[in-house]
Chains A and B, each alone.
Chain A
Amino acid sequence: MKKEITFTLNKEKTIMEVDPQWTLLHLLREVLEMTGTKEGCGYGECGACTVIIDGEAVNSCLYPVMEVEGRSVMTIEGVALKDGSLDPIQQAFVDEGAVQCGFCIPGMIMSSKALLDKKDKPTEEEIKESIEGNLCRCTGYVKIVDAIKSVAGGR
């Protein structure tokens, strides 16, 4: 039985017919075909599906779609600027060599962006905490942390 929800998706008011059994990730990837948000495990254990809801980074694979009602959701597709140029955090990931296979990267960017949106100059400890739920197998995390630091002005 479908229900209607209204929410903000990447700054646009969105009204959707949804099935309460969907997760937010299902809505994004399967229904809206916004495939930038990745499913790495489906159980909230890898962070690849991270999106920002009302300022907090959360796992969209565990997020009941009905819970989105009235909230503001930002996905990786909403991070770049309107003219298509990269957000500073995205540019930093590019410039610092933080990207390899890239599958974890949208989640990494959402987690770190949620931090940077709240704190201009987070400490290295806070940077690591922000991505400690985001698994990456390629990079050893070094350049990912470097990239976030470079935006945070903490270098």
Chain B
Amino acid sequence: MRLPPFQYLEPENITEALSMMDTYKDTVKIIAGGTEVINHMKHRLLSPAFVMNIAKLGDLGGISVLDHEIVLGASTTLKEIANSPVIKEKCKAIAEAAFQVASPTIAAMGTIGGNILQNTRCMTYNQSEIVLTGLDSCHKRGGTICLAVKGSTRCFSVYQGDMAPALIAFDAQCILRKSGATRTIPIIDLFTGNGVQPFSIGSDEILTGIIIPKQDGTSGSAYKKLRIRGSIDFPLVSAASVIWVGADGKITSSRMVIGAAGPAPRMVEEASLAIQGQLPGEIDLEALAGMAYGLTEGADNLAMPGAYRRKMARVLLKRAVQEALEDVKRGI
């Protein structure tokens, strides 16, 4: 498969990269590992005029452990994150999510920044050109129809990233830079909820890093992923949970997130409120799980039926919470 023509940009440093973004804006596509962009370009889902490689910008890689936070450079590979002792110890769900992305070869190339900013997916969109050619253009391909949900005026594509739900569960922030400005926003705010344009990142901005705040108390976390095969597959639905317990054994705070159930990960805030101050033994897991159900979209546009995926959001959330609580018990 040939790649469509493009001009290759190789900035020497972040300042140059930002200035290129300022110049080329929408016409440039950033790659670091390239595992998604190159794939989509081969499928003709993308044909950017410029491709800018930021993999070698020294200041975008690596995991730094600071007093109050852990900072992940945007070009840190998923493999580094999955294997990082500090991530495994402090943020198990994040390591678990990274470990379950695609396959080891992809995880060795793919970066955390790229994984977060991966495009939403749909069986009627992520197709080879030879199949798409006969189908009408859907919302995501610039048309006005939805091929997955007949008659829909909006796009039902699904955000299938593994990392974002786990990061959101840890209340992670992302650093967005553009020429002359930097902003830090919660990762959940990166998402627009619109399948056509899933991210709020500006066309002149680069995601440069992720900040995972440290929090007091004993915590446990877990990431659960529904997929058909034991590797390669994107999540068909996923659940991440983090639970903090105070010295009295009561839950001080918790965050639960459902992924791959719509165009953006969803926080199950109702569930966090419900268990605040409870002892782990008092939690009504079934009730919590039920709260996930309403947040899921379940269109029939991925490898398993939407109705089934919705039900599984419930099961996965329950299991993610259960496992996080077990971690807490073990004093992790």
**Which positions in A face B, CB cutoff 8 Å?**
3, 20-23, 42-45, 47, 50, 56-59, 62-64, 66-67, 111, 129-130, 132-134
Contacts and interface: CB of A to CB of B under 8 A. Distances in A.
A133 B39 contact: no
A44 B231 contact: no
B46 to A, nearest CB: 13
A63 B106 CA distance: 10
A133 B232 contact: yes
B104 A129 contact: yes
A57 B107 CA distance: 10
Given A23-B3, A42-B42, A62 B104 contact: no
B310 interface: no
A23 B85 CA distance: 33
Given A45-B232, A57-B108, A132-B230, A64 B38 contact: yes
Contact of A130 (B56, B104, B232): B104
Contacts, number: 81
A133 B6 contact: no
Interface in B4-46: 5-8, 10, 31, 34-35, 38-39, 42-43
A66 B53 contact: yes
Given A56-B79, A63-B34, A64-B53, A44 B8 contact: no
A58 B42 contact: no
Q: How many B residues are at the interface, by size bracket?
A: 20 to 34
Contacts of A56: 79, 108-109
Nearest to A59: B105
A66 B10 contact: yes
Contact of A133 (B1, B3, B104): B104
B192 interface: no
Contacts of B104: 57, 111, 129-130, 132-133
Given A20-B8, A66-B10, A67-B55, A57 B105 contact: yes
A62 B108 CA distance: 12
Interface string B121-156: 000000000000000000000000000000000000
Given A45-B232, A129-B104, A21 B39 contact: no
A44 B38 CA distance: 9
Q: 6 shortest A-B CB distances, which residue pairs?
A: A133-B103, A20-B8, A132-B231, A56-B108, A42-B1, A62-B38
Contact of A62 (B5, B10, B34, B230): B34
Interface in B37-66: 38-39, 42-43, 51, 53, 55-56
B102 interface: yes
Nearest to A66: B8
Contacts of B103: 47, 132-134
Nearest to A39: B1
Contacts of B7: 20
Contacts of B1: 42-43
Nearest to B2: A21
A149 to B, nearest CB: 17
Nearest to B108: A56
Contact of B35 (A47, A62, A134): A62
A133 B55 contact: no
Contact of A59 (B43, B56, B109): B109
B53 A67 contact: yes
B98 to A, nearest CB: 13
A44 B53 contact: no
Contact of B34 (A45, A50, A67, A129): A67
A123 B62 CA distance: 27
Nearest to B79: A56
Contacts of A67: 34, 53, 55-56
Nearest to A51: B105
Contacts of A20: 6-8, 51
A44 B105 contact: yes
Max chain B C-beta neighbours (<10 A), residue from A3, A58, A63? A58
Nearest to B128: A43
Contacts of B102: 44, 133
B108 A58 contact: yes
